[in-house]
């Protein structure tokens, strides 16, 4: 716990600033470092607001988890008299350089706050399904997009979503709201494709560099093998891409005009099989060392109960 938390917001922000100054722009500019915090509870109001202000001063973005579940929203309302996004808005903590991760339990009146401050949202549909966050039950992502709130797609961490495959997230985003609302026109393939490309780039503040194939932008693209069974037969390429194809039919992946995946192999990792084997071994050691291999370790938890975070550190 001592390694996870800082004594106060000031110390945390100092460390975050040092990280951004050291790492932002590394890897010939391919690595971006933001002023990122966990968000929600147990982060303080000073940390939420201070992170966005620091990011603005450093010329980078910031992101954190908020309104992830109905339980979290209710807990915030009981404690502060406001739902999570409204509370941050009241603290003048919203802004165009802020990306809210999940934002599942956003109240109807909070959508206008997001639009007014040009605050972005990262929707992670796979995590909502795996952890029962309630995106289809209470999520208002279509309404956000209808008032021009930028909603990009994310995967969240692999432990939360089960994978880091953006293609899967696109498939889910295209169909979840069709089904839960009984509306065949909700979101759909074209909108989901934009959420995973140009809208994602806008959320990152990088729409002038990536997100679409245009002159002057980075040559970042994915090539699919149209001879693969997933593409046999097809007429509309967008519908086929979203509804029929999977990552199995990816032929090549290019970043900044350089092929990094080709012929089923990561070009920059010739010993990929050895790396996977080592990853399995390390994971097993970590699980044993943490005691997570015991039969009595719970696989589910209830985090947001009223009063459960009363004495949690900042």
Q: Chain-wide mean pLDDT for the chain?
A: 92
Note the pLDDT of residue 221.
95
Note the pLDDT of residue 311.
41
Q: How far apart are CA 154 and CA 108, in angstroms?
A: 22
Q: Which domain CATH number covers 202?
A: 3.20.20.140
User: Per the domain annotation, does 299 fall within a domain?
Assistant: no
Nearest C-alpha neighbor of 162 from the set 134, 192, 131: 131
| Phi and psi angles of residue 37, each rounded to the nearest 5 degrees, phi first | -125, 165
314 has a pLDDT exceeding 50: no
Q: How many angstroms from the chain centroid is the CA of residue 186?
A: 21
313 has a pLDDT exceeding 60: no
Interval 276-305: pLDDT, tens: 999 999 999 999 998 888 888 876 665 555
User: Per the domain annotation, does 137 fall within a domain?
Assistant: yes
User: Per the domain annotation, does 229 fall within a domain?
Assistant: no
User: Per the domain annotation, does 56 fall within a domain?
Assistant: yes
109 has a pLDDT exceeding 80: yes
In contact, 37 and 72? CB cutoff 8 Å: no
Interval 164-219: pLDDT, tens: 999 999 999 999 999 999 999 999 999 999 999 999 999 999 999 999 999 999 99
User: Per the domain annotation, does 274 fall within a domain?
Assistant: no
Domain ranges, residue 146 = 9-219
User: Per the domain annotation, does 49 fall within a domain?
Assistant: yes
User: Per the domain annotation, does 115 fall within a domain?
Assistant: yes
What is the CA angle 33-38-41, rounded to 5? Answer: 160
> Domain tally for the chain?
1
Residues 6+ apart with CB under 8 A from 118: 95, 96, 150
Note the pLDDT of residue 5.
81
User: Per the domain annotation, does 230 fall within a domain?
Assistant: no
Note the pLDDT of residue 133.
93
Interval 70-98: pLDDT, tens: 999 999 999 999 999 999 999 999 999 99
307 has a pLDDT exceeding 60: no
């Amino acid at each position: 716990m001592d390694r996870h938390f800082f004594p106060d917001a000031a110390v945390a922000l100092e460390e975050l600033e040092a990280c951004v100054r050291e790492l932002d722009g590394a890897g010939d500019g391919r690595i971006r470092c933001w002023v990122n915090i966990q968000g929600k509870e147990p982060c303080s109001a000073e940390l939420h607001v201070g992170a966005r202000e620091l990011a603005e001063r450093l010329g980078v973005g910031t992101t954190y988890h908020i309104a992830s579940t109905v339980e979290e929203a209710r807990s915030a309302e009981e404690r502060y008299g406001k739902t999570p996004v409204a509370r941050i808005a009241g603290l003048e903590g919203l802004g165009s350089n802020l990306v809210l991760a999940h934002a599942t339990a956003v109240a109807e009146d909070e959508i206008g706050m997001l639009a007014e401050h040009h605050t972005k949202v990262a929707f992670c549909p796979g995590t909502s399904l795996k952890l029962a966050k309630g995106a289809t039950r209470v999520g208002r992502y279509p309404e956000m997009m209808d008032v021009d709130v930028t909603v990009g797609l994310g995967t969240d961490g692999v432990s939360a979503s089960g994978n880091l495959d953006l293609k899967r997230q696109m498939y889910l985003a295209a169909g979840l709201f069709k089904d839960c609302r009984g509306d065949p026109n909700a979101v759909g393939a074209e909108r989901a494709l934009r959420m995973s490309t140009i809208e994602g780039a806008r959320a990152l503040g990088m729409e002038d560099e990536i997100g679409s194939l245009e002159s002057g932008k980075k040559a970042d693209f994915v090539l699919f093998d149209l001879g693969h069974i997933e593409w046999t037969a097809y007429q509309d390429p967008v519908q086929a891409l979203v509804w029929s194809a999977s990552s199995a039919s990816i032929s090549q992946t290019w970043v900044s005009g350089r092929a990094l995946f080709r012929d089923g192999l990561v070009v920059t990792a010739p010993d990929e099989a050895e790396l996977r084997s080592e990853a399995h071994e390390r994971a097993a050691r970590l699980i044993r060392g943490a005691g997570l291999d015991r039969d009595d370790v719970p696989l589910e938890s209830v985090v947001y109960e009223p009063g459960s975070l009363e004495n949690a550190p900042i």
